[in-house]
Amino acid sequence: MRRRTGPGRDGPAGGASAGPGSSAVRTPDPDARWLALLLHAAFFLLLGASLTRFLMRHPGEARTPWVIALSLTLAVVHALGPVLGSRPTPRRFTWLAGLVAVWMVLVVLAPSFAWCAVPLFSTGLRLLPPRAALVLVSLLTAFVVAAQLRLATGFDPNLVLAPPAVAAVATAVLVHVRRQADRQQELAVRQRELIEDLVRTRRELAATERREGTLAERQRLSMEIHDTLAQGLSSQRMLLQAATRIWDTEPGTAHAHVRTAAGITARNLAEARRFVHDLAPADLAEGAGLEAALRALAARATATGGPAVRCHVEGTAHNPLPDRVQSALLRIAQGALANVAEHADATTAALTLTHLDDRVVLDIADDGRGFAPDGPAAATEQRDTPMRRGHGLPAMRARVRQLGGRLTVESAPGEGTVLSAEVPLPDPEVPAAPEVPGHGGEPAGHGAPASPEEPGTPEEPV
């Protein structure tokens, strides 16, 4: 439910405002602050001028001490207004009542102080509800008219009509300014809500697209595996079972079945290697290398409307980086940039790949809002979200730990974040152990069939 802020409630001087569907505090208006200072200066200027005029006209009268005392009291009471704040609280209402009462007594003793009513108009309109503010303005205007008539030697229509006209114009201007400020505040709140809705919708759409892409890829892989590996394994099983049954009675045919099964095994191994190659990061699968892949990643991240991402490469790799290292560092960069775009509210980010003699270092830095790495929010993030999505710090640490490296995070609230992944490189003079298939290489001779397939031997159906 919307609650409209009308004249007299939490004015532009920066009180609280309940925007549309929100309980957020109204942001202070710098223009209202200057207006308040101007009104205070005008009040004290008018008060000083009225007191000076009275002392010049009535220097030795019995009421002079009372006028001086009330003038000082009125100045002190008016100066206490900013101390009490700008919100419409009971203390502020009591202060305004005392201020008006002292002014009225002063006007009765010295009608020339009636000019101080002009700043009081603004104070009442900013503090009171609309109807109460209009009543106060009418009362002050009546006192001004009465004071002017007391000073006049005869009846003057200007003295009767001019004060109400001035009060009406001042009231209209202040009410219009107040309503404009309220409209602008409501518009700002609506814009913030619209931006939040758009960002939330964008995140939900991105999450939906990721889920749909994951399901589609799973379905594609399941179909590929069924049509290749599963069919091949089923054929091998049938051939080996048939060879087992006739091993003693028909050894030649049994050996032919075994050789056919070996050929099927070789083709299945080739298919498995193709799957592993297809599952590697696309940028690396194209053979462009880690540096080109990082630059392409930075360009894509910038083009999606997120923070501007720059990519720097320092040093030169003496030897090609192992495939596992390139894949892990690229995945870490992808996850880190995804978190920056989703959580950091950053405007710029930087990828820095540094080649050293015995290790390679990847730094991802952003100028976002940062966080406390050891705080409860970070602990929750590390415990829950990353393990579900695979883009969090635990997944990154696991990738680096598998390569014998380490991951460090430097951040503080409001100071951005720097994530650094350091991976040692193998000594090129030490022979490397053969890698497990699917992890960047194949053992020597792995995948060769045990014996050539005999020409013309049909592959049995599933």
Tens digit of each residue's pLDDT (9 = 90 or more) over 53-79: 888 887 778 888 888 888 898 888 888
Q: Which helix (H) or strand (E) holds 447?
A: none
15-29, 55-69, 89-103: least confidently modelled range? 15-29
Residue 156 Cα distances to 11, 137, 146, 159, angstroms: 37, 22, 12, 6
**Percent above pLDDT 70 for the chain:** 75
Position 311 pLDDT exceeds 90:
yes
Nearest-angstrom CA–CA distance, 235 and 311: 50
Quote the radius of gyration of the chain (alpha carbons, Å): 41
Position 380 pLDDT exceeds 70:
no
Give the relative orientation of helices 231-245 and 251-279 as an angle to the nearest 10 degrees. Answer: 160
Q: Which helix (H) or strand (E) holds 311?
A: strand 308-314
pLDDT of residue 24: 41
Position 387 pLDDT exceeds 50:
no
pLDDT digits (tens, 9 = 90+) for 229-240: 777 788 788 889
pLDDT of residue 429: 60
Residue corresponding to tokens 């892409």: 213
Question: Smallest Cα–Cα separation from 210: which of 351, 343, 342?
Answer: 342
More confident residue, 387 or 355: 355
pTM of the model: 0.39
Give residue 393's pLDDT band: very low, low, confident or very high (50, 70, 90).
confident
Position 460 pLDDT exceeds 50:
no
**Average of per-residue pLDDT across 116-131:** 75
HSE-CB for 370 with a 13 A CA cutoff: 15
Nearest-angstrom CA–CA distance, 76 and 306: 55
**Average of per-residue pLDDT across 401-425:** 92
| Strongest mean pLDDT among 274-278, 305-309, 330-334 | 330-334
Give residue 424's pLDDT band: very low, low, confident or very high (50, 70, 90).
very high
pLDDT of residue 244: 92
pLDDT of residue 353: 95
* Sheet of 348-355, strand order: 308-314, 348-355, 359-366, 417-424, 406-411
